[in-house]
Structure 1
């Protein structure tokens, strides 16, 4: 009873605020779904459904690329997937700041010096140092490193096939842990024992003794017994973003260098961003490949031909870029399976958001921009209940078949039934997967190259199929959220059960 008595004045005050102030919200004329709760608004539907993204696609279909939802105590928020709106918000970091919720999460996970947390000139200074780790000259040297990592995955899977490490009678193996071990190898120092890294600066010495609490060296770090290592994986330590960031910081001009504390917080930032997002994207790519036998054979034939025509069978970036179907497949995977489920911003001042498609307001007016008051939250949901990217599902951009997985849309212009020019946001293939503006993903080139090489090598050596639903219902994959979008099976365990067969 005392708790109820204390809560009553709070609820009454919130109701008065709602009745007196919020009903005159300048966003009230923007169409949107009805609120499911006065206290929580639409946020439970947005953030906490059983299958993530259950509501967003139906909302987008009904209301378009910009619509209004209700936040706590009937406050108005916006959800946007319109390319023009995304570009305007993501490009203006002065007006649109990261929300308190995002900042709090980053602070808890890493700290206030992390590149994900800092803003303004501090953010610019740190990014300038870290950019050296992802320069084009670095990316061009990565294919042999990534190929060595892919060979370790392939060796592990061959051992699993020999040992009969199956999940059920269908013959499926859980390949999810292996893929994440590989992406950790790629972004971190896993192939290197700490003792072999030279201590040439205080920042490097700080890193040698530093390991974030969740850091683990994967069991795949050493080649399996009786295997012949290519040696390229060991060279990965010299080429990893963490090592290169340390070297770049040591050689930066005085006054531009990161402190030991700053440098230490960038390491887990790279680990989180580089391992989970790419590992999950690679997982979804293999899931899509296993779902499409005919497409899988077409891509494998292209890969085999390209590798056979390359000197020594080595995979260069030139070879990779020449694989038309493989790249179209990966672009379609990135379109429909972005790594992050959602991001948001908050307006630090009154602002105007343009839209590429006119909005009809509740008063019947047609508008091409939305005026938002200071303090407005804007959400960027990435995916819907079918595991797909809302920004990549806009029918007027991608066509009426936007919900379908069709790599040919990237190859034949006639297969792109929408407005290709409207997809103008993001650094790679004009996709929103890596965001854009000043906070564009710093390692997008690294991630794309890693994805290309690992996928190429695995497709060359293995065939994939999904376990049949009629005999393996417990192994059917659905989407869940653990910061990133992850595949889980019926019991909620992160897993990617796939029937793997050596070619």
Structure 2
């Protein structure tokens, strides 16, 4: 018998032992984190994840926020230790000072890399910083000023589409979530890549829009396969280091005898093929001998044209290869569509629950338009509207589309705290030892809703708070977020690169719609709108609603 044949059973035995060890190690190994207070796990296998990941998890998140200190200990799958962190000083170390220690888990990075390619969401360290350095100018204020008219053109089409639907319905009931999703995709398509995904004037099927909307729910359903990936993180990470192997794995997803896995592969193929087509179209124009065609890219106002220009002008060492540019297209569309559309849907729902706020906001927008001769507001006029800014800020504070993000300690680290933490034995500590491998959740939900920072009414949606002097505690805390003392868009080197673009999109949408329509809750069962906890919060009709939707009553305003 050959040495190779003899080695196979030993290798298999070693793999089994490694997996068993990963299953039991957090149960048998002691840790100083056990002294940190936290909720009792409901399951030996899933820990607190069944509460944390549940679509109705909001009471549990409020429990973590209101009934514990700023750091909470939980259990993850197979006893994995998790820290829920809302302490501003600790967060500064996690997302800014020690961000190379607290990186995303290998399985998360690898999953995105295999699915969407080596874009901003699936690269780490120097590779990520090199990509971000090249892309930062693309999201400048100057670029946003140039692209604002493009956003208005999209929204004018959307208004006509809603008008057309109102002509065909007797009860004026419109699913605004569907329209916001289509609008967000077209905004990123036109403003991002000079590409139209949706004419917005007909209620026609859109395979790409359906793929973008379906990806997160489809991946969420792969619980068993995500558990396996969690167990074999080192092997999965090794696959990502070899693009050819990663492409092979992605190509043969269909061999897995699971309909959901096959559905994920179909979605990823649609995203990749469309992104490749967009890039190829731009590249052909850029390489063309036709001066007019070439100038459309060189002088284009969209993100893709700007990215290609920046890439051409960059030093050879900083230029992105073709596959990374294609990956950025998929990444930006995926990251920018659902977050923006669902945030807009949340604002429209809140304006229905608070009609006085809706009327006050509408009056501000109409007055500003009148001062502008009745036309669309340019970038500077739009961002200068105080009440519109207050409504957006307050919504993104209280209802961040993503309530937390995950990091993992790559090595042992000391995590300083803003204030002493009381342990289970009554002792107090000003820093925590975080062992290598610990999952750390950046508690966006808790920081944004902290009564210690925002006052006793921190749980109340009140836009006026942004027109008043904020509590001194907010400034003193030095929350390390890139936006308005909030963690909604995170902070540090992995902060959302497109957060200013997202805010502009939201304001253009609201300025356009509120000038033409009045929104209110529907009568009967469709008035029962529930927001569900997921990777990105989404609304349904009722607690058991299986299809994301936000039916609202839409009324044309009289000119």
Offset, 1:353: 1.9
Q: Which residue of 2 aligns with 1:228?
A: none
| Matched ranges for 1:421-460 at <5 A | 421-422=476-477, 424-460=479-515
Q: Which residue of 2 aligns with 1:131?
A: 136
Aligned counterparts of 2:483 and 2:364: Cα–Cα separation in 1? 22
Q: Which residue of 2 aligns with 1:4?
A: none
Aligned counterparts of 2:194 and 2:102: Cα–Cα separation in 1? 40
Aligned counterparts of 1:318 and 1:311: Cα–Cα separation in 2? 16
Q: Which residue of 1 aligns with 2:456?
A: 400
2:359 is aligned, of 280, 297, 301, to 297
Residues 101-157 of structure 1: per-residue CA shift (max 9 Å, x gap): 32133134312x121111111111111111122122101223222221211111111
| Matched ranges for 1:283-362 at <5 A | 283-311=345-373, 313-362=375-424
Q: Which residue of 2 aligns with 1:230?
A: none
Aligned counterparts of 2:472 and 2:530: Cα–Cα separation in 1? 29
Aligned counterparts of 1:13 and 1:423: Cα–Cα separation in 2? 41
Aligned counterparts of 1:178 and 1:238: Cα–Cα separation in 2? 27
**Higher deviation after alignment, 362-371 or 61-70:** 362-371
1:244 is aligned, of 306, 322, 326, to 306
Aligned counterparts of 1:66 and 1:140: Cα–Cα separation in 2? 41
Q: Residues 10 and 318 (structure 1 numbering): CA distance in 2 closer, same or farther, change over 3 Å? A: closer
Q: Which residue of 2 aligns with 1:499?
A: 553
Is 1:158 matched with 2:163?
yes
1:146 is aligned, of 142, 147, 151, to 151
Residues 303 and 456 in structure 1, CA contact (< 8 A), matched pair in contact too:
yes
Q: Which residue of 1 aligns with 2:528?
A: 476
Offset, 1:13: 7.2
Aligned counterparts of 1:182 and 1:193: Cα–Cα separation in 2? 11
Q: Residues 178 and 306 (structure 1 numbering): CA distance in 2 closer, same or farther, change over 3 Å? A: same
Residues 143 and 315 in structure 1, CA contact (< 8 A), matched pair in contact too:
no
Q: Which residue of 1 aligns with 2:100?
A: 94
Q: Which residue of 2 aligns with 1:275?
A: 337
Is 1:26 matched with 2:80?
no
Q: Which residue of 2 aligns with 1:205?
A: none
Is 1:36 matched with 2:36?
no
Residues 188 and 242 in structure 1, CA contact (< 8 A), matched pair in contact too:
no
Residues 398 and 417 in structure 1, CA contact (< 8 A), matched pair in contact too:
no
Q: Residues 443 and 193 (structure 1 numbering): CA distance in 2 closer, same or farther, change over 3 Å? A: closer
Q: Residues 136 and 372 (structure 1 numbering): CA distance in 2 closer, same or farther, change over 3 Å? A: same
Is 1:107 matched with 2:113?
yes
Residues 45-104 of structure 1: per-residue CA shift (max 9 Å, x gap): 112x24143412112211122110012333422011222222220112211111123213
Q: Which residue of 1 aligns with 2:288?
A: none
Is 1:413 matched with 2:469?
yes
Q: Which residue of 1 aligns with 2:426?
A: 364
Residues 139-190 of structure 1: per-residue CA shift (max 9 Å, x gap): 12232222212111111111111121x6xx5x42112122111111221247
Q: Residues 423 and 289 (structure 1 numbering): CA distance in 2 closer, same or farther, change over 3 Å? A: farther
Q: Residues 412 and 369 (structure 1 numbering): CA distance in 2 closer, same or farther, change over 3 Å? A: same
Residues 173-214 of structure 1: per-residue CA shift (max 9 Å, x gap): 1121221111112212476479xxxxxxxxxxxxxxx96258
Residues 272 and 330 in structure 2, CA contact (< 8 A), matched pair in contact too:
no
Report the TM-score when normalising by structure 2: 0.74
Displaced runs of 4+ in structure 1, greater than 6 A?
A: 9-16
Aligned counterparts of 2:329 and 2:25: Cα–Cα separation in 1? 45
Is 1:212 matched with 2:271?
yes
Residues 203-230 of structure 1: per-residue CA shift (max 9 Å, x gap): xxxxxxx96258599xxxxxxxxxxxxx
Q: Residues 115 and 288 (structure 1 numbering): CA distance in 2 closer, same or farther, change over 3 Å? A: same
RMSD after superposition:
2.9
Offset, 1:296: 0.8
Offset, 1:242: 2.8
Q: Residues 41 and 367 (structure 1 numbering): CA distance in 2 closer, same or farther, change over 3 Å? A: same
Q: Residues 457 and 362 (structure 1 numbering): CA distance in 2 closer, same or farther, change over 3 Å? A: same
Aligned counterparts of 2:18 and 2:46: Cα–Cα separation in 1? 14
Secondary structure, aligned partner of 1:492: coil
Aligned counterparts of 1:456 and 1:72: Cα–Cα separation in 2? 45
Aligned counterparts of 1:321 and 1:238: Cα–Cα separation in 2? 23
Residues 189 and 195 in structure 2, CA contact (< 8 A), matched pair in contact too:
no
Aligned counterparts of 2:446 and 2:457: Cα–Cα separation in 1? 13
Could you say which structure has the higher helix fraction? 2
Residues 325 and 407 in structure 1, CA contact (< 8 A), matched pair in contact too:
yes
Aligned counterparts of 2:535 and 2:504: Cα–Cα separation in 1? 23
Q: Residues 419 and 428 (structure 1 numbering): CA distance in 2 closer, same or farther, change over 3 Å? A: closer
1:487 is aligned, of 517, 533, 539, to 539
Q: Which residue of 2 aligns with 1:253?
A: 315
Aligned counterparts of 1:372 and 1:273: Cα–Cα separation in 2? 30
Aligned counterparts of 1:459 and 1:410: Cα–Cα separation in 2? 21
Report the TM-score when normalising by structure 1: 0.82
Q: Residues 268 and 90 (structure 1 numbering): CA distance in 2 closer, same or farther, change over 3 Å? A: same
